[in-house]
Amino acid sequence: MSNSVKPPTEKKSWAHRVLKWMEDQIIEVAIGVMFAIIVVIVVAPHLIYTVPAGHVGVLWLRFGNGTVTDRVFAEGIHFVLPWNKFTLYDGRSRYNEITVDTLMSDGLTANVKVGYRYSVVKSKAGFLHRSVGPNFIKVLLNPDIAAETRSELGQVKAEEVYAMRRDDFEQNIRATVRRNMQQALDKKDGTPSDFLLLHDVLISSIVLPPVVKAAIERKNEERQKVEQRTYTIAAEDKERQRKEIEAEGIRRFQEVVGSTITDSYLRLRGIEATVQLAQSPNSKVVIVGTGQGGLPVILGGDQPAPVNSPTNDPTNKPANRPTNSPAATTVPTVVPLGAPTISQIVR
């Protein structure tokens, strides 16, 4: 009996076996892959959450203690079980504006636009989520700010709107809203109420009825005209007082100076003026009078002594010169007879 020898079987790797199985089960594999992709697409939004810049996340546990208040989720990607709920809160400064219709103290209506800036305290976003919720603007901020705006404007008249200081008005609204929020949210279980910060309250505009606005503007215009006239009268009165004081000063000056001026002093001042006139580089003619004391004619006031005119003196005959000669236009120096010369005065 002959022993038959079997040929050795070739040992296949595990990768080869997997590929062989996939070739045999290609339809089942394709269906499984498609099902897995669908599951990922459907479940991923409930498993993976992205916290953008400036935001925080608050987690609510379905099978736990509810809202997690001792921690918040910072910026980045976070994995959450699909049966829990993840809520985002914007921790940056935000601005909101509301329109308030209110009555003034005189019964007139006004339309007021009020804007305010606020922010959520990131570390206490869990308490905000548990106490108020994501709709805290409509539930908490808008009603309080509108009510306080009506309360403040209800104390003033329509015509006082243009004269009131808006800074004080805005500060009163901000302080009152903060106090109201703290009182409304303050609980005995130790839950903090400072999870919202109200930074500013800004009055954008106050619109009155057109008829009322026109009447107030005309009244203010007339008031400004009256104030202008009052100011003009006051200015003229001040000018009158100034002129009276100036006239009184001049009168006293004349009384003091008039008693001290003598003839010798006036003669000295006349000689000084004559010397300065003679020394001036622009002086071409010096006229000296023959009045009392030999003072110049321009200061003495006396009539000068008669002087023989060159044209009447028969001995003074000018030489024959051309009419267009420069010497014909030269002005002669006139020195009255008996008057002191310049050299004598200088000495």
Per-residue pLDDT tens digits for 213-270? 787 778 878 888 888 999 999 999 999 999 999 999 888 888 877 777 777 777 787 7
For residues 74-99, average pLDDT: 91
pLDDT score recorded for residue 300: 39
Q: Whole-prediction pTM value? A: 0.53
3 — pLDDT class (breaks 50, 70, 90)? low
Range scoring the smallest mean pLDDT among 107-116, 202-211, 309-318 = 309-318
Q: Report the DSSP beta bridge partners of residue 79.
A: 48
> In this structure, which amino acid lies at residue 96?
N
Helix (H) / strand (E) element for 31: namely: helix 26-47
185: tokens are 């949210």
Q: Render pLDDT for 57-76 as a digit per residue (tens, 0 to 9).
A: 999 998 888 899 889 999 99
Percentage of the chain modeled with pLDDT above 70 = 74
Q: Report the alpha-carbon distance of residue 82 to residue 95 in Å, rounded.
A: 33
Mean pLDDT taken over the chain:
76
d(CA 92, CA 69): 19
Give the pair of three-digit tokens for residue 71.
């921690």
Q: Which of 80, 41, 34, 35 is nearest to 61 (CA)?
A: 80
Does residue 170 register a pLDDT over 60? yes
Q: Which two tokens stand for residue 336?
A: 């009255």
**Per-residue pLDDT, 340:** 47
Q: What is the mean pLDDT of residues 28-42?
A: 83
- pLDDT exceeds cutoff 90 at 92: yes
**Which residues, other chains included, contact 197 with Cβ-Cβ below 8 Å and sequence gap of 6+?**
118, 119, 120, 121
Give the pLDDT score at 295: 54
Starting at the edge strand found earlier in the chain, the sheet holding 94-103 runs 94-103, 109-120, 196-207
pLDDT score recorded for residue 119: 93
Share above pLDDT 90 across residues of the chain, in percent, rounded to a whole number: 22
Q: What is the mean pLDDT of residues 73-92?
A: 91
pLDDT at 87: 93
Residue 174's alpha-carbon distances to 104, 146, 167, 195, 309, in angstroms, are 20, 11, 11, 16, 101
CB under 8 Å to 177, separation ≥6 — which residues?
141, 144, 145, 148, 198, 201
Instruction: Give CA–CA dist 121/101, Å, rounded.
Output: 31
Convert the pLDDT of each residue in 274-325 to its tens digit: 777 777 776 555 555 555 555 555 443 444 444 444 444 544 444 444 444 4
CB 185 within 8 A of CB 105: no
Average pLDDT over residues 26-38: 83
